[in-house]
Chain A
């Protein structure tokens, strides 16, 4: 079974290591140039590069890990098929093409199960997954130490912000502060947290 989860998480296939980290267009050109044959290494590489960005877009707009993962899969399946079919006229604009596809799927979709089945049936893909490369995990123990070492006001603002992703306006209303003040405290807290996380031992 096609598994983009695994396809996006492995190391670059042979021949892609030298590419610029952002040079998605070169990979897209390889897929287009190989059609109608399949360049499975290039297809896996485009998934590895674009998958996390699509998932992030899905998380932002759908606020659901599961929905974001579905969106990522559907968009990549669609994009790969369009690349193979020569339907992407300008590979230099592959990022915009992928964004447009993701945006349209979010708008249309509201993403019913029936639509997903149709996409997966219409565009069968069988990438061979390679070895997984686990993403670098966040050191939650250190984060806990760093969070506990923050000034109380910054901790409170960060918790209020991130517990359910609330805007500065919403947090400000709960604390009797201005939104601008919340943004300043929020930014200061995040920077202090980042500095602490980068310090050996996690001392804020």
Chain B
């Protein structure tokens, strides 16, 4: 194929769907053909794949915090990752730490989320100050959310207290659903 004949470059959505096995057999075969004939689209897919690998590495680096489903954390553990877990009920508090062998530290915070449409996290930290995480991804049926703080940040802490509040947002109205207290101590 010459450059001139590549008049229909694959869309990013199609490339991603191809990579994630979301296409049916005939769609996948067509894209296989196109990618073998078109260096430009093949290069774009390679870029998407390398960005995906970098995102995976960012999670494992522990440099950033995330809010992720509990089922995902289970898969991480099943894959051999060393995960320190804390479970909290609404209003609960926990003494917590991070040890050298911990690759991730997670907090499973139970909360009634059935009628919640948008959920924000308010974090007040005696070391880092306050921050708000808007519109976290959550399953209302899951009965809670799982916070994955930055392990790199946790390792810098000594004795600190962090308060986390889950806030349901509906238009301009907000209500606190539950709050949790983390008393961090160095390992």
Contact = CB atoms under 8 A, between A and B. Distances in A.
Interface in A150-171: 151-153, 155-169
A60 B20 CA distance: 8
7 contacts: A23-B2, A49-B39, A53-B42, A144-B61, A159-B66, A168-B17, A190-B16
A110 interface: no
Query: What interface size band does chain A fall in?
Result: 35 or more
Interface in B20-70: 20-22, 32-33, 35-40, 42-43, 45-46, 48-59, 61, 63-64, 66-69
Given A22-B2, A186-B16, A59 B49 contact: yes
Given A156-B67, A163-B56, 11 more contacts: A22-B38, A56-B45, A99-B32, A102-B36, A144-B64, A152-B133, A159-B68, A164-B75, A174-B72, A175-B139, A183-B13
A140 B54 contact: yes
A15 to B, nearest CB: 18
A151 B134 contact: yes
Interface in B64-106: 64, 66-69, 71-72, 75-76
Interface of B: 1-3, 5-6, 12-13, 16-22, 32-33, 35-40, 42-43, 45-46, 48-59, 61, 63-64, 66-69, 71-72, 75-76, 133-142
Interface in A84-131: 95-96, 98-99, 102-103
A148 B133 CA distance: 11
Nearest to A155: B66
Contacts of B140: 176
B157 to A, nearest CB: 19
A68 B97 CA distance: 41
Contact of A22 (B3, B16, B137, B139): B3
Interface in A66-95: 95
The 5 closest A-B pairs by CB, nearest first: A176-B139, A162-B52, A95-B37, A156-B137, A99-B36
A95 B67 CA distance: 44
A143 B51 contact: yes
A176 B142 contact: yes
A98 B12 contact: no
Nearest to A102: B36
A193 interface: yes
Contacts of A157: 137
Contacts of A138: 50-51, 54
Contact of B22 (A23, A168, A177): A168
A52 interface: yes
Given A175-B69, A176-B140, A190-B51, A21 B3 contact: yes
A10 interface: no
Nearest to A144: B58
B46 A52 contact: yes
Contacts of A99: 32-33, 36
Contacts of B22: 167-169
Contacts of B136: 152-153, 156
A99 B36 CA distance: 6
A159 B58 CA distance: 9
Given A174-B69, A187-B13, A57 B35 contact: yes
